[in-house]
Amino acid sequence: MPLILRVDVDRPYGRAPLFRHVLSRLASDLYFPRIECFGYLRELGIILEMLKQRHAKAYVFFRRCTLPSGPILRLIEEGGHKIGLHLEDSRSFETFAAEKRMLEAHTGRPVRALSKHGSGGARYGLHHYAPYEPEWYVEWARRTGMTLFLGNLEDPSLGPVIDAAGFASYPSAFWLEPAWRDTSVFTIDWLLSEARSRDVVLLIHPENVLAVPALIGELQRLLASLDTRILQ
Protein backbone atom coordinates (compact mmCIF):
# COMPACT_ATOMS: atom_id res chain seq x y z
CA MET A 1 0.00 0.00 0.00
CA PRO A 2 1.26 3.53 -0.69
CA LEU A 3 1.72 6.80 1.11
CA ILE A 4 -1.03 9.38 1.30
CA LEU A 5 1.08 12.51 1.00
CA ARG A 6 -0.26 15.60 2.78
CA VAL A 7 1.33 18.99 2.09
CA ASP A 8 0.24 21.78 4.46
CA VAL A 9 0.88 25.23 2.99
CA ASP A 10 1.17 27.30 6.16
CA ARG A 11 3.29 30.30 5.16
CA PRO A 12 2.74 32.39 2.02
CA TYR A 13 6.29 33.75 2.03
CA GLY A 14 8.10 31.09 4.02
CA ARG A 15 9.89 31.61 7.31
CA ALA A 16 13.32 32.95 6.27
CA PRO A 17 14.96 35.35 5.89
CA LEU A 18 13.35 37.78 8.33
CA PHE A 19 11.89 39.91 5.53
CA ARG A 20 9.87 36.97 4.16
CA HIS A 21 8.87 35.86 7.64
CA VAL A 22 7.41 39.32 8.28
CA LEU A 23 5.52 39.19 4.97
CA SER A 24 4.07 35.81 5.94
CA ARG A 25 2.77 37.20 9.24
CA LEU A 26 1.42 40.31 7.57
CA ALA A 27 -0.41 38.28 4.93
CA SER A 28 -1.79 35.94 7.59
CA ASP A 29 -3.03 38.55 10.06
CA LEU A 30 -3.88 41.55 7.89
CA TYR A 31 -3.21 41.62 4.16
CA PHE A 32 -0.32 41.50 1.75
CA PRO A 33 -0.73 40.82 -1.99
CA ARG A 34 0.52 37.67 -3.67
CA ILE A 35 3.83 38.84 -5.20
CA GLU A 36 5.90 36.11 -6.81
CA CYS A 37 9.15 38.11 -6.97
CA PHE A 38 9.04 38.23 -3.16
CA GLY A 39 8.81 34.44 -3.08
CA TYR A 40 5.07 33.83 -2.76
CA LEU A 41 4.67 30.04 -2.29
CA ARG A 42 8.25 29.53 -3.50
CA GLU A 43 8.87 26.56 -1.22
CA LEU A 44 5.66 24.86 -2.32
CA GLY A 45 6.72 25.24 -5.95
CA ILE A 46 10.03 23.51 -5.21
CA ILE A 47 8.24 20.61 -3.50
CA LEU A 48 5.75 20.26 -6.38
CA GLU A 49 8.61 20.15 -8.88
CA MET A 50 10.26 17.45 -6.76
CA LEU A 51 7.04 15.43 -6.74
CA LYS A 52 6.70 15.87 -10.50
CA GLN A 53 10.12 14.32 -11.04
CA ARG A 54 9.09 11.32 -8.92
CA HIS A 55 5.59 11.04 -10.44
CA ALA A 56 4.26 11.37 -6.88
CA LYS A 57 0.79 12.71 -6.08
CA ALA A 58 -0.28 14.68 -3.02
CA TYR A 59 -3.11 16.45 -1.28
CA VAL A 60 -2.12 20.11 -1.02
CA PHE A 61 -3.90 22.03 1.75
CA PHE A 62 -4.22 25.81 1.54
CA ARG A 63 -5.02 28.41 4.19
CA ARG A 64 -6.94 31.59 3.44
CA CYS A 65 -3.60 33.45 3.22
CA THR A 66 -1.88 30.88 0.96
CA LEU A 67 -4.34 30.65 -1.93
CA PRO A 68 -2.58 29.09 -4.93
CA SER A 69 -1.14 31.31 -7.65
CA GLY A 70 -1.49 30.58 -11.36
CA PRO A 71 1.88 28.79 -11.63
CA ILE A 72 1.08 26.69 -8.55
CA LEU A 73 -2.31 25.72 -9.97
CA ARG A 74 -0.59 24.61 -13.18
CA LEU A 75 1.87 22.45 -11.22
CA ILE A 76 -1.02 20.93 -9.28
CA GLU A 77 -2.87 20.15 -12.49
CA GLU A 78 0.21 18.71 -14.19
CA GLY A 79 1.04 16.55 -11.19
CA GLY A 80 -2.46 15.16 -10.65
CA HIS A 81 -2.57 16.54 -7.11
CA LYS A 82 -5.73 17.39 -5.17
CA ILE A 83 -6.47 20.69 -3.45
CA GLY A 84 -7.69 20.66 0.16
CA LEU A 85 -8.78 23.24 2.71
CA HIS A 86 -6.41 23.84 5.62
CA LEU A 87 -9.09 25.13 7.97
CA GLU A 88 -8.10 28.14 10.05
CA ASP A 89 -11.25 29.70 11.53
CA SER A 90 -13.00 26.59 12.86
CA ARG A 91 -15.17 28.26 15.50
CA SER A 92 -18.42 27.37 13.67
CA PHE A 93 -19.89 25.64 10.64
CA GLU A 94 -20.44 29.07 9.09
CA THR A 95 -16.78 30.07 9.33
CA PHE A 96 -15.73 26.68 7.93
CA ALA A 97 -18.18 27.00 5.04
CA ALA A 98 -16.95 30.53 4.27
CA GLU A 99 -13.33 29.34 3.99
CA LYS A 100 -14.38 26.41 1.80
CA ARG A 101 -16.32 28.74 -0.52
CA MET A 102 -13.34 31.12 -0.69
CA LEU A 103 -10.96 28.35 -1.78
CA GLU A 104 -13.43 26.90 -4.28
CA ALA A 105 -14.13 30.32 -5.80
CA HIS A 106 -10.41 31.05 -6.10
CA THR A 107 -9.48 27.73 -7.69
CA GLY A 108 -12.65 27.17 -9.71
CA ARG A 109 -13.01 23.59 -8.56
CA PRO A 110 -14.74 21.67 -5.76
CA VAL A 111 -12.72 21.00 -2.61
CA ARG A 112 -13.22 17.50 -1.22
CA ALA A 113 -10.40 17.19 1.36
CA LEU A 114 -10.06 18.90 4.75
CA SER A 115 -7.33 19.37 7.34
CA LYS A 116 -6.99 21.68 10.33
CA HIS A 117 -4.34 24.38 10.87
CA GLY A 118 -2.90 23.80 14.35
CA SER A 119 -3.41 20.97 16.80
CA GLY A 120 -4.81 22.88 19.77
CA GLY A 121 -3.16 25.18 22.29
CA ALA A 122 -1.15 27.76 20.37
CA ARG A 123 -2.88 30.36 18.25
CA TYR A 124 -1.25 30.87 14.85
CA GLY A 125 -2.48 34.23 13.63
CA LEU A 126 -5.31 36.70 13.95
CA HIS A 127 -7.89 34.56 12.15
CA HIS A 128 -6.85 31.25 13.69
CA TYR A 129 -9.19 29.45 16.09
CA ALA A 130 -6.85 27.37 18.22
CA PRO A 131 -8.96 24.50 19.68
CA TYR A 132 -8.63 21.21 17.84
CA GLU A 133 -12.07 19.56 17.52
CA PRO A 134 -11.88 16.89 14.81
CA GLU A 135 -15.35 15.51 15.46
CA TRP A 136 -16.81 18.81 14.24
CA TYR A 137 -14.59 18.91 11.16
CA VAL A 138 -15.68 15.41 10.14
CA GLU A 139 -19.34 16.33 10.57
CA TRP A 140 -18.99 19.56 8.59
CA ALA A 141 -17.01 17.85 5.83
CA ARG A 142 -19.67 15.16 5.43
CA ARG A 143 -22.44 17.79 5.42
CA THR A 144 -20.84 19.67 2.52
CA GLY A 145 -20.03 16.71 0.31
CA MET A 146 -16.35 16.36 1.15
CA THR A 147 -14.86 12.87 1.17
CA LEU A 148 -11.66 13.05 3.24
CA PHE A 149 -10.41 14.41 6.56
CA LEU A 150 -6.72 14.17 7.50
CA GLY A 151 -6.12 14.74 11.20
CA ASN A 152 -3.20 16.01 13.24
CA LEU A 153 -2.55 13.32 15.84
CA GLU A 154 1.06 12.18 16.08
CA ASP A 155 0.62 8.40 16.30
CA PRO A 156 0.82 7.07 12.73
CA SER A 157 0.03 3.55 13.88
CA LEU A 158 -3.63 4.63 14.09
CA GLY A 159 -5.66 3.50 11.10
CA PRO A 160 -8.47 5.28 9.26
CA VAL A 161 -12.21 5.24 9.86
CA ILE A 162 -14.18 4.80 6.62
CA ASP A 163 -17.97 4.97 6.78
CA ALA A 164 -20.56 3.21 4.61
CA ALA A 165 -20.77 6.20 2.27
CA GLY A 166 -17.02 6.10 1.67
CA PHE A 167 -16.04 9.14 3.75
CA ALA A 168 -12.50 8.53 5.05
CA SER A 169 -11.06 10.02 8.24
CA TYR A 170 -7.37 9.48 8.97
CA PRO A 171 -6.93 10.76 12.54
CA SER A 172 -3.14 10.76 12.58
CA ALA A 173 -0.08 11.22 10.40
CA PHE A 174 3.62 10.50 10.21
CA TRP A 175 5.03 14.02 10.56
CA LEU A 176 8.28 14.17 8.62
CA GLU A 177 9.53 17.00 10.85
CA PRO A 178 10.86 15.16 13.95
CA ALA A 179 9.55 17.69 16.50
CA TRP A 180 6.04 16.23 16.00
CA ARG A 181 6.70 12.50 16.29
CA ASP A 182 8.37 10.03 18.62
CA THR A 183 11.55 9.45 16.64
CA SER A 184 12.56 6.56 18.88
CA VAL A 185 9.54 4.60 17.60
CA PHE A 186 8.39 6.17 14.35
CA THR A 187 11.53 6.17 12.26
CA ILE A 188 11.86 6.44 8.50
CA ASP A 189 12.54 2.70 8.41
CA TRP A 190 9.32 2.13 10.39
CA LEU A 191 7.39 4.11 7.78
CA LEU A 192 9.02 2.27 4.87
CA SER A 193 8.00 -1.05 6.42
CA GLU A 194 4.51 -0.01 7.54
CA ALA A 195 3.51 1.62 4.25
CA ARG A 196 4.17 -1.59 2.37
CA SER A 197 1.14 -3.19 4.00
CA ARG A 198 -1.28 -0.29 4.57
CA ASP A 199 -1.91 3.36 3.76
CA VAL A 200 -0.03 5.84 5.96
CA VAL A 201 -0.41 9.61 5.82
CA LEU A 202 2.92 11.44 5.47
CA LEU A 203 2.65 15.11 6.50
CA ILE A 204 5.12 17.74 5.35
CA HIS A 205 5.40 21.53 5.53
CA PRO A 206 7.45 22.75 2.54
CA GLU A 207 9.28 25.57 4.31
CA ASN A 208 10.30 23.30 7.19
CA VAL A 209 11.48 20.41 5.04
CA LEU A 210 13.50 22.57 2.66
CA ALA A 211 15.26 24.28 5.57
CA VAL A 212 16.89 21.00 6.70
CA PRO A 213 18.99 19.00 4.22
CA ALA A 214 18.45 15.79 6.21
CA LEU A 215 14.68 16.12 5.81
CA ILE A 216 15.02 16.69 2.07
CA GLY A 217 17.05 13.48 1.91
CA GLU A 218 14.47 11.54 3.91
CA LEU A 219 11.64 12.80 1.71
CA GLN A 220 13.52 11.83 -1.43
CA ARG A 221 14.22 8.39 0.01
CA LEU A 222 10.54 7.85 0.79
CA LEU A 223 9.42 9.02 -2.65
CA ALA A 224 11.96 6.75 -4.31
CA SER A 225 10.86 3.73 -2.26
CA LEU A 226 7.07 4.06 -1.98
CA ASP A 227 4.18 4.90 -4.25
CA THR A 228 1.76 7.70 -3.41
CA ARG A 229 -1.98 7.50 -3.58
CA ILE A 230 -4.95 9.79 -4.21
CA LEU A 231 -8.11 8.29 -2.69
CA GLN A 232 -11.05 7.91 -5.04
Residue 85: partners with Cβ closer than 8 Å, 6 or more residues away: 61, 62, 99, 100, 103, 111, 113, 114, 115
Q: CA nearest 22: which of 36, 10, 35, 12? A: 12
Q: Does 83 have pLDDT greater than 70?
A: yes
Q: CA nearest 44: which of 59, 32, 28, 27? A: 59
In sequence order, what DSSP letters do the residues of 110-125 get, joined into one string? ---EEEESS-SSS--S
Per CATH, the homologous superfamily of domain 3-225 is Glycoside hydrolase/deacetylase (3.20.20.370)
| Chain length of the chain | 232
Percent above pLDDT 70 for the chain: 99
Please report the pLDDT score of residue 1 as a whole number.
65
pTM of the model as a whole = 0.97
Domain boundaries, the chain: 3-225
Q: CA nearest 138: which of 156, 161, 157? A: 161
Residue 78: partners with Cβ closer than 8 Å, 6 or more residues away: 52
Q: Identify how many contiguous H helices and E strands the chain contains and give both numbers.
A: 8, 9
In sequence order, what DSSP letters do the residues of 122-180 get, joined into one string? S--STT------HHHHHHHHHHTT--EEEEEES-TT---EE-TT--EEEEE-EESSGGG
Q: Does 232 have pLDDT greater than 70?
A: no
Higher per-residue pLDDT: 218 or 2: 218
Please report the pLDDT score of residue 4 as a whole number.
98
What's the CA gap between 165 and 188, in Å, rounded?
33
Residue 125: partners with Cβ closer than 8 Å, 6 or more residues away: 25, 28, 29, 65, 88
pLDDT in tens, 117-155: 999 988 988 899 999 999 999 999 999 999 999 999 999
Mean pLDDT, residues 6-11 taken together: 98
- Per the CB < 8 A criterion, the answer to whether 142 and 167 are in contact is yes
- Per the CB < 8 A criterion, the answer to whether 207 and 10 are in contact is yes
Mean pLDDT, residues 11-32 taken together: 92
Percent above pLDDT 90 for the chain: 93
pLDDT in tens, 172-207: 999 999 999 999 999 999 999 999 999 999 999 999
Q: Does 214 have pLDDT greater than 70?
A: yes
Please report the pLDDT score of residue 52 as a whole number.
97
Angle between helix axes 42-54 and 70-79 (nearest 10 degrees) is 20
Name the 3-class secondary structure at 16.
coil
